[in-house]
Structure 1
Amino acid sequence: MPDSLQNGSKDRIKYIVLGCGSIGYNVVENLVRDSEQVIVIDSDVKRVEDLRDQNFDAIVRNITDPGFLNDLPLPEVVFVLSNDKNANLEAVKRIKEKYPSVYVVARAVDKLSLSLLEQAGADIALYPQEVFAKNVVHLTRRLHSSRLARKLYHYLSEMEGTLGIVLHTNPDPDSISSAMALCAIAKDVTDKQLNCRILYDGKIGHQENRAFVTLLDIEMEKATAEAIDECDYIALVDSSAPGENNALESGKEVDIIVDHHQISDQNSKPGRFVDVRPGAGATASIMTQYIQELGVNIDQKVATALLYGIRADTKEFTRNTTPQDLNYAAFLLPLTDSDLLSKITSPSMALETLEALGDAIKNRKLQSGYLFTNVGYVRNRDVIPQAADLLIQLEGVNTAIAYGIGDDSITISARNKDIRLHVGNVLKDAFSDIGEAGGHANMAAARIPLNSFSMVKNKEELLSLVIDPILEKFADQVGLGKEESNEI
């Protein structure tokens, strides 16, 4: 009899493993690295003898026997790993009847067994083939990401001169921090043989975005035609193609594209290096992965910017967040300036912004869970997504659509809680033929240029004239009827 059974059932032991085929044996090998308190039970006499020859604590018992738990020490965790699904199910039931507080990890022989084992009381039920498949996909993605990081490093190492990093129009912290990270990588690779210039068009209007740029003292310049022409190389970050919400001409050749938005034209992938990952929560996450893979040392300023970029684009990890986004944030956290981060997230609000949000609240209309609000004429178009963020929180609202007009375009911002709706696809289908549109399942935007109306002075009157047929395109996509909207 094994030593662990000499003193009867009053003793405690850390692990008991039921069934020691190929899966069970691998589990046992890993468990003994954590603790020597492991008992293995198997019905195969020869297998048990082999285990004992390897100094494993093993006994012969059949787990279908109602008394197979007799005389065993009280375990902390039991692994039920035989290849007999009925035996595993009965074993789980008996373990939970005898020791309700013991943790049970059970092997499912097929997918149907998963729910049966959980109903029987298994704390964790695993289908090995599914675990293997998920692990293979995860490792393949990591391998692909690692190769992309090395490819970018090699590509940057060949550059000399000036790299112009173009942000999307009215850049946000995700876009700006990604450009800073690309500059840091280029500096590490080329050792000053490559100069970086961060270029943007539009405005930095959101109060947190302005605080972000000011407090971090980020060097940026307007993306004029002259500035772009002065650059030997062009990179796009947080924007998937030239001419799509950025200052570049459509079809212009670029050297680097890094983004987490879906490419609108799947056949168009300009750029010698392209890394577009629609599944990532932020472009800053992709850049952080490069930094990790390449072992690039970054200063507090870049780390703080990247962490804030991830936090802002995932709305504090509540929107479009992946486990990788959380891992990258954990990597960055000890490298950041916490005081500076706190100041960025607590800026003062301009009176103009407050008044625009007030108009958005006053003008709201609700129809079948869809909230529409007219923000009116805005100099700072960042207030439109702020309005959508605010109003999606109202009770009874599943989708919030905020729209407003600027000097040269109508901006539409959408937020969505309805799991049946992919609002990015809806906006793309509704508006891509008259402007730029797209986004994620729960957040999206559209920009419709005014073109011949750009010289009209009364913008709010113009908006009231053109918005109804525009919003009808959205209503058609989601199947809204013609019934009257209700104020809430």
Structure 2
Amino acid sequence: MPDSLPNGSSDKVKYLILGCGSIGYNVVEELAHDSDEIIIIDSDEKRVEDLRDQNYEAIVRDIQKNDFLESLPAPEVVFVLSSDKNANLEAVKTVKDIYPSAYVIARAVDRLSLSFLEQAGADITLYPQEVFAKSAVHHIRKLHSSRLARKLYRFLSESEGIMGIFLHANPDPDAISSAMGLCAIAKSASGGKLECRIVYDGKIGHQENRAFVTLLDIEMVKYSEEVINECDYFALVDSPGPGINNSVPDNIHVNIIVDHHMPPDNEQAVPAEFVDIRPNAGATASIITQYIQELGISIDQKVATALIYGIRADTRDFSRNTTPQDLNYAAYLLPLTDGDLLSKITSPSMSPETLEGFGNAIRNRKVQSGYLFTNVGYVRNRDIIPQAADLMIQLEGINTAIAYGIGEEFITISARNKDIRLHVGNVLKEAFSDIGEAGGHSTMAAARIPLNSFSLVKNKEELLALVIEPILERFADLVEINKKEPNEI
């Protein structure tokens, strides 16, 4: 019975494989590309002989016995991969007792074994069935997204004329950069036969957003009926359908929709030729970047810089609603970007109106049971309101921050949330969707309530004070805040 190494060994070895069935053998083949410092232990004599015939160092030993490591060199990494759960558990205990600094990757035969192996000291525990399931889901998602990219490319390749790419009202960098990316794809697919126009409505008020548009010299046109009439094709980015926080008429046939927001419950599916809505994506710019990567399209520094900033802005520098895919696409874009330009965009000057809005938010803040409510007042630049919410959520003891303000046409409410028990987007939708537009993600959301009924009121500040209390009471009822007066802080 071969129970020792035939060729001798040094004091240390990189990999030690315990159990070399089908899983163990596949691991050995992968590791062999990296190093030839591999020792295999298995209780099956015939298997060991076969491994030796393939020039692997292998010995016959029982990994349940306390002395199975005797005379072996110290391993850096140990894979415990037998099909016997008791043997794997005993082996992990023995390895960690003798070589506490060694990394141990252990196979769990069932879900119950996962916790036992972790308690025994395994650094990584793997349940093969679960690994297979996750891998299968990952591959099917990748296949689906690849097919979507090709479907979009085919549609654009067969199109010529003018395509209007419409952004949501008061567009942010995610929407603008997504439109730029879609333009790049359209140019490549159509061979230049399809001309793109990025169309926006409202204002670009946030100082970073203005710096973004100015420094990248992004060409956009203001929404008008003339622009609508000139377009042969219509696309929406960062918006789930016509009329949903955008000026596109309901009777317009939209050809392309790419977004990461779930459409309102009362909205029917839009019959577009191409629709890709992924609520789990951190940014629409991530989806557009995936198309570019899948299709192998070359983009210039301007587009790459815009897309990476769009992803960063919508995920708040990868700190909210971020998926591993968002990080992967940012890593893909990073070598293509203009780093100096990106730094300038993220360090803009602050306008006096923004500073005054922050002052109002600080003075007017009220807190109740971890919920902060603050009145930003009358604003010409509605982007100040979400910026105020971003500022307030950083206060100690605050789990949810609600900032609200009033403009010429709307009351705007912006929410930020750190409470994992609360999906603030769903709460805002339930509270306000019957009187305006509302929705968002679990950590960030917004609502917009039109002032049609109050158009004759001249003093906007007084109007806000008049209508906001019953409006916010809906939110308070839904999150079951204790019925007591908020304390000012």
* TM-score bucket of the superposed structures, by smaller chain: over 0.9
Shift of 1:229: 2.1
Q: Hey, what's the Cα distance between the residues in 2 that align with 1:268 and 1:276?
A: 11
Shift of 1:192: 1.7
Alignment of 1:52-63 (within 5 A): 52-63=52-63
Q: Which of 10-19 and 106-115 deviates more? A: 10-19
Shift of 1:219: 0.6
Shift of 1:256: 0.2
Name the counterpart of 2:436: 435
Name the counterpart of 1:36: 36
Amino acid at match of 2:47: R
Determine if contact 1:41/1:59 at 8 Å carries over to the other structure. Answer: yes
Q: Hey, what's the Cα distance between the residues in 2 that align with 1:230 and 1:429?
A: 38
Shift of 1:456: 2.3
Q: Hey, what's the Cα distance between the residues in 1 that align with 2:3 and 2:190?
A: 63
Determine if contact 1:241/1:270 at 8 Å carries over to the other structure. Answer: no
Amino acid at match of 1:326: L
Name the counterpart of 2:157: 157
Name the counterpart of 2:73: 73
Shift of 1:356: 0.9
Alignment of 1:93-242 (within 5 A): 93-242=93-242
Q: Hey, what's the Cα distance between the residues in 2 that align with 1:51 and 1:482?
A: 72
Q: Hey, what's the Cα distance between the residues in 2 that align with 1:40 and 1:87?
A: 15
Name the counterpart of 1:343: 344
Alignment of 1:240-251 (within 5 A): 240-250=240-250
Amino acid at match of 1:260: H
Determine if contact 1:5/1:71 at 8 Å carries over to the other structure. Answer: no
Determine if contact 2:16/2:75 at 8 Å carries over to the other structure. Answer: yes
Q: Hey, what's the Cα distance between the residues in 1 that align with 2:436 and 2:251?
A: 16
Distance 1:249 1:455, change over 3 A: farther
Name the counterpart of 1:276: 277
Q: Secondary structure at the match of 2:488?
A: coil
Shift of 1:212: 0.5
Name the counterpart of 2:379: 378
Name the counterpart of 1:20: 20
Q: Which of 254-263 and 473-482 deviates more? A: 473-482
Amino acid at match of 2:15: Y
Determine if contact 2:6/2:57 at 8 Å carries over to the other structure. Answer: no
Determine if contact 2:5/2:59 at 8 Å carries over to the other structure. Answer: no
Q: Hey, what's the Cα distance between the residues in 2 that align with 1:455 and 1:441?
A: 36
Distance 1:395 1:63, change over 3 A: same
Determine if contact 2:157/2:191 at 8 Å carries over to the other structure. Answer: no
Shift of 1:5: 6.1
Residues 221-242 of structure 1: per-residue CA shift (max 9 Å, x gap): 1111221121000000000111
Match status 1:405 vs 2:385: no
Determine if contact 1:4/1:73 at 8 Å carries over to the other structure. Answer: no
Amino acid at match of 2:484: E
Distance 1:337 1:229, change over 3 A: same
Q: Secondary structure at the match of 2:419?
A: coil
Determine if contact 2:400/2:419 at 8 Å carries over to the other structure. Answer: yes
Determine if contact 2:4/2:59 at 8 Å carries over to the other structure. Answer: no
Q: Which of 244-253 and 422-431 deviates more? A: 244-253
Identical residues among aligned pairs (%): 74
Give the gaps of 5 or more residues in structure 1. Answer: none
Residues 97-139 of structure 1: per-residue CA shift (max 9 Å, x gap): 1111111110001111111111111111111111111111111
Q: Secondary structure at the match of 1:75?
A: strand
Q: Hey, what's the Cα distance between the residues in 2 that align with 1:433 and 1:374?
A: 22
Determine if contact 2:3/2:61 at 8 Å carries over to the other structure. Answer: no
Name the counterpart of 1:257: 257
Q: Hey, what's the Cα distance between the residues in 1 that align with 2:237 and 2:215?
A: 22
Amino acid at match of 2:263: I
Name the counterpart of 1:316: 317
Q: Hey, what's the Cα distance between the residues in 2 that align with 1:226 and 1:473?
A: 41
Aligned residues, how many? 487
Q: Hey, what's the Cα distance between the residues in 2 that align with 1:250 and 1:160?
A: 23
Q: Which of 319-328 and 251-260 deviates more? A: 251-260
Determine if contact 1:80/1:88 at 8 Å carries over to the other structure. Answer: yes
Name the counterpart of 1:414: 415
Q: Secondary structure at the match of 1:105?
A: strand
Q: Hey, what's the Cα distance between the residues in 2 that align with 1:97 and 1:251?
A: 72
Shift of 1:481: 3.0
Q: Secondary structure at the match of 2:31?
A: helix
Q: Which of 467-476 and 384-393 deviates more? A: 467-476
Q: Hey, what's the Cα distance between the residues in 1 that align with 2:333 and 2:53?
A: 48
Name the counterpart of 1:480: 481
Amino acid at match of 2:142: R
Q: Secondary structure at the match of 2:46?
A: helix
Residues 307-366 of structure 1: per-residue CA shift (max 9 Å, x gap): 100000000000101111111111111111111111111111110110011001100000
Q: Hey, what's the Cα distance between the residues in 1 that align with 2:142 and 2:23?
A: 25
Q: Hey, what's the Cα distance between the residues in 2 that align with 1:62 and 1:173?
A: 61
Shift of 1:14: 1.1
Shift of 1:454: 2.6
Q: Secondary structure at the match of 2:88?
A: helix
Alignment of 1:431-470 (within 5 A): 431-470=432-471
Name the counterpart of 1:329: 330
Residues 155-212 of structure 1: per-residue CA shift (max 9 Å, x gap): 0011111000000000000000000001111111112211111101110000000010
Determine if contact 1:436/1:448 at 8 Å carries over to the other structure. Answer: yes
Amino acid at match of 2:283: A
Amino acid at match of 1:247: S
The 4+ residue runs of structure 1 with deviation greater than 6 A are none
Determine if contact 1:5/1:73 at 8 Å carries over to the other structure. Answer: no
Q: Hey, what's the Cα distance between the residues in 1 that align with 2:218 and 2:8?
A: 69
Distance 1:47 1:6, change over 3 A: closer
RMSD across aligned positions (CA)? 1.3
Name the counterpart of 1:88: 88
Amino acid at match of 1:32: A
Determine if contact 1:2/1:57 at 8 Å carries over to the other structure. Answer: no
Amino acid at match of 2:472: L
Amino acid at match of 2:65: D
Determine if contact 1:403/1:412 at 8 Å carries over to the other structure. Answer: yes
Shift of 1:66: 1.5
Q: Secondary structure at the match of 2:33?
A: helix
Amino acid at match of 1:179: A
Determine if contact 1:5/1:72 at 8 Å carries over to the other structure. Answer: no
Residues 83-110 of structure 1: per-residue CA shift (max 9 Å, x gap): 1111101100000111111111100011
Q: Secondary structure at the match of 1:34?
A: coil
Q: Secondary structure at the match of 1:269?
A: coil
